Chain A
Amino acid sequence: MGKGFKKLRWSRYLMWKELKLRLNILKNNAINSYKVQTAYFFENVAGLGSTLFYTLTQLLFIQILYGNVDTFAGYTKTEMLILVFIAQFNFYVDWLWNTNNLNFLINAIREGDLDIILSRPIPALFFVTFKEISIVNRIKDSLPNVILISLFIDWSQIHTNGIRIVTAIILFILGQLAWHGFRFLFALPTFFIGNARQIFQVSGALGDLKDIPFEGFPDKLKTAFTTVIPSLIAARLSTSVLLGKTQPLPALLLASTVAVIFLILKQVGWIIALRKYSSASS
């Protein structure tokens, strides 16, 4: 009994140590990202200007589109603005932790920096997943834009409830995780063929959904883009659930399964890629 208790305490200590190490990595990466990104003042201001311009052109596009049509895939102008609002938020969250870090991984493999990371006594996969966490910059870039979009939404026309809101938030998180796992798999060919930038960009193209609502996709594509290519979950499916166009429970079950599968595939892919990795210095 005493031995078992000691073993339990020991494993808890190890777990706590691992968690502390990961939190430290997160903290240091966030501080480092902040310092790097704020070093270029003009670029920061212009970056905000760029995203603001993007939002303005999006709003103008919707204005022009709905100046000619009443509904689009069953979405009214207000519902479409909700979709744009969530899609923009999805973009900024993805930019905060996903795409930037996958680009970092690709460059690290190509330029030999991964050798240095692998030789350090740190969890390498965790480190490369969260190498760049620019919280302050992403808040700075995203906040004015999402506020701007929200000002154009007639909130009184949105009919939803607490269950749908909570489900939409969970779907959003699960969608982000699944999408990360999916795109990670597309970064791995760099281990095998050196230059795989276009292959990685193929995965990005699969997420560039041109503001098409979930309901706009034919049934077969809906299935494909929520399972094997999970790009519809984070913004489109969550918006659909939020607006009461899709049942919450089946969506939640589907998204959970897909997210878990892609996170497992990410781990397996990483192990296989490292086995094949011949390193830049060898």
Chain B
Amino acid sequence: MKVYYDVIKFNFKEIFSYPSEVVAYFIRKSIHLGFLIIFWVVVTQDNGEIFEARKTISYFLISSAIVDITFLNGTRFGRRIQKLIKRGELSNYLLKPIDTIKYLFAGYIGRKGTVAFFAIILLTVGIYLQPPKSLLYLPLALTSIILTTLTGLGVNIIMATVGFYTPEAGSLKNVFEHTRRLLSGALIPLSYFPPLIKKLTEISFFPVLTYYPTVIVQGTEPLQSVLIMLLISAGWAVALLTLGKILWEKALKNYDGVGI
């Protein structure tokens, strides 16, 4: 485990080689959030009886933080592995006596250290705007965020395995991303969806990626609903990680990479 911890530390330090880039990242994220807040302020100004400003803004701060803190944004981890496969660089990692996925994920977490830092600030502000009804929600929220990270990791591994079969997989990632943004509740909370679309969405794993952890952190849902959400999240985490592992191993067996 120490190896992976060192990998996280090393990659985290590496990003500070360009401090102006770190500052620019914070500015970019703030602008992005600023526009999102303006959008929902405008919506709530005209329709205050439907959308409550404080609750809605808190929702988007928390959901944005969760997407970043669980390293899901842009399915970039999966895309990074796809690129390694395409360039023949994956072999460098496969030849090492390490767990490839863990090693690459540790490096990815390290490089996304600033992303996680900014996400924690957003999460704090989001919780401040809409504090949970009871402290009991905090461990539940933490559990939910961990389950979302695992589900997201499963999705990323599945996305990465596509790279073994076609080197031109960038657009496929975009298709998934557009779908995820809408169906996970990152664009608009699922509670405002028409009943039929909401039901169809709830059958999929998408709500686990944003909506469930966000409403659990907000602590607005009754405890019984939260427990059901956690159970569904755990189910999807196990299912997607298992599927990812099976697909990864199957793809590796057929992989003719450089030096393998």
Chain A interface residues (CB < 8 Å from chain B): 40-43, 46-47, 49-50, 53-54, 56-57, 60-61, 63-65, 67-73, 189, 193-199, 201-202, 204-206, 208-212, 216-217, 221
Contact = CB atoms under 8 A, between A and B. Distances in A.
A205 B39 CA distance: 15
Given A68-B192, A202-B24, A205-B31, A60 B182 contact: yes
Given A53-B179, A61-B187, A72-B43, A196 B171 contact: no
B21 A216 contact: no
Interface of B is mostly: helix
A68 B50 contact: yes
Given A65-B43, A67-B194, A46 B172 contact: yes
Given A71-B46, A72-B42, 11 more contacts: A43-B168, A46-B169, A46-B175, A50-B172, A57-B181, A64-B192, A68-B51, A69-B51, A72-B46, A210-B38, A221-B38
Contacts of A65: 43, 188, 192
Most-contacted residue by chain A among B50, B168, B169 (CB, 10 A) = B168
Nearest to A49: B175
B14 to A, nearest CB: 12
B24 A201 contact: yes
Contacts of A221: 38
Nearest to B190: A64
A216 to B, nearest CB: 4
Given A50-B175, A65-B188, A209 B35 contact: yes
Interface of B: 18, 20-22, 24-25, 27-29, 31-32, 35-36, 38-39, 42-43, 46-47, 50-51, 166, 168-172, 174-175, 178-179, 181-182, 187-188, 192-194, 197
A230 to B, nearest CB: 15
A212 B39 contact: yes
Contacts, number: 116
B164 to A, nearest CB: 14
Contacts of B50: 68-69
A41 B35 CA distance: 36
11 contacts: A41-B168, A50-B174, A53-B174, A53-B175, A57-B178, A64-B194, A69-B50, A73-B46, A202-B31, A212-B39, A217-B38
B46 A43 contact: no
A179 to B, nearest CB: 15
A208 B35 contact: yes
Nearest to A55: B178
Contact of A201 (B28, B179, B197): B28
A243 B12 CA distance: 50
A69 B20 contact: no
A49 B166 CA distance: 16
A43 B167 CA distance: 9
Given A69-B50, A199-B21, A208-B35, A61 B166 contact: no
A56 B197 CA distance: 14
A67 B36 CA distance: 20
A198 B25 contact: yes
A56 B175 CA distance: 11
B19 to A, nearest CB: 10
